[in-house]
Amino acid sequence: MPSDDARLIAAARAYVDALVSHDPSAVPLHPACTRTELGVTTGRDGRHIARSLAHGPQFRLIHAVGDFTATVSGRRVETTFVVHVRPKALGLGARVVESFEFDDEDLITRIVARFSPPRRV
């Protein structure tokens, strides 16, 4: 069985992978999970966040994710990664720092995202 840290990182990675696949089925979102992006609430509950991952136009620009790293502190996972955005020919990417907070059942209860503007990578 994976360690607690490995399970939490895998859950955070499932969210990051869903940014590209637009399939949130593997993301363990708590029903009351919220998401904040640059200080603005962009996800009011788990179902809303899952719908946004699946159908949100803001995520349709993402065609790949790279340079993923994660660290765990208690029930919080801090990730950094680069999202590569369309159009692919421009070679644009944005560095993202996204934190995930978890309950005792390994469900994501809060997501906080910060990112830089896209630039050539």
Taking the model in full, what pTM does it have?
A: 0.93
Using CA of residue 14, residue 11, residue 55, residue 96, what is the dihedral sign?
negative
Contact criterion met (CB below 8 Å) for 33 and 15: no
The total of structural domains in the chain comes to: 1
Report pLDDT digits (tens) over 97-112.
999 999 999 999 999 9
Closest CA to 10 of 24, 28, 25: 28
Range of the domain at 80: 4-120
DSSP state of 118: P
Tell me the C-alpha to C-alpha distance, in Å, between residue 51 and each of 26, 90, 113.
Answer: 13, 28, 17
The β-bridge partners of 71 are 78
What six digits make up the tokens of 98?
């996204």
Q: What number is the average pLDDT over the span 9-30?
A: 97
Q: From start to end of 11-91, where are the E strands?
A: 29-37, 40-43, 62-73, 76-85
Residue 90's pLDDT is 87
Three-state secondary structure call for residue 56: coil
1 pLDDT above the threshold of 80: no
Report pLDDT digits (tens) over 62-97.
999 999 999 999 999 999 999 999 888 888 999 999
What CATH number does residue 94 fall under? 3.10.450.50
17 pLDDT above the threshold of 60: yes
